[in-house]
Amino acid sequence: MALIIVVIVLVVLAALLVSLYNGIVTKDNRCDNAWQTIDAQLQRRNDLIPNLVETVKGYAAHESGTLQAVTEARAAVANAGTPEEKMEASNQLSGTLKTLFAVAEAYPDLKANTNFQQLQEELGQTEDKISYARMSFNDCVLEYNNAIETFPGSLVASLFGGGKFKTRAGFEVADAAARQAPQVKF
């Protein structure tokens, strides 16, 4: 009888450990998936930017510094290798795009241009999608980090993860200046 109780307890413990481990793996995979969603939206934004820059060039040729900054920031996003580098480059690009749209305000013909309006709208929608994807990613990271840092998940992660389960960093605005609206002077 005692042997049966011990076997039942061991089976329940094993099932609990497997369930906890699988839960951590699932949360880790959700973080990867959420990052891939951000990455896809960043790529969409990068694909829209050359068209926007070309449209603005025709109207605001003397704003070459702003256009160059947007182009360089776009290249930095495309060349970033790690999620952290992409986060930082994306924040920079968001700031330069704000400046670009502020510059466009000074050109009524540009603002009235249908192509510019369409590109601006698409870019705005993409920025909204990026923002939502960042929030989703941060939620996934929080859930995952909680799973590997709280008991009994921390025990399972350290025993069975083999160093695989490490805390993740969420997406945040690293530069306080990126939170400010750009000031454009003419």
- pLDDT tens digits for range 117-140: 888 899 999 999 999 999 999 999
Residue 98 CB burial class (10 angstroms; 0-12, 13-18, ≥19): middle
**149 pLDDT more than 50:** yes
**141 pLDDT more than 50:** yes
| Stronger pLDDT, 34 or 99, i.e. the higher one | 34
Average pLDDT for residues 70-94, to the nearest whole number? 91
Average pLDDT for residues 27-42, to the nearest whole number? 95
- CATH no., domain 2-179: 1.20.1440.20
| Stronger pLDDT, 124 or 173, i.e. the higher one | 124
Tell me how far apart the alpha carbons of residues 102 and 65 are, in angstroms, rounded to a whole number: 14
Domain definitions of the chain by residue range: 2-179
Would the pTM count as exceeding 0.85? Answer: no
Tell me how far apart the alpha carbons of residues 174 and 16 are, in angstroms, rounded to a whole number: 39
Residue pair 56/138 in contact (Cβ under 8 Å)? The answer is no
| pLDDT (tens digit per residue) in 10-23 | 999 999 999 999 99
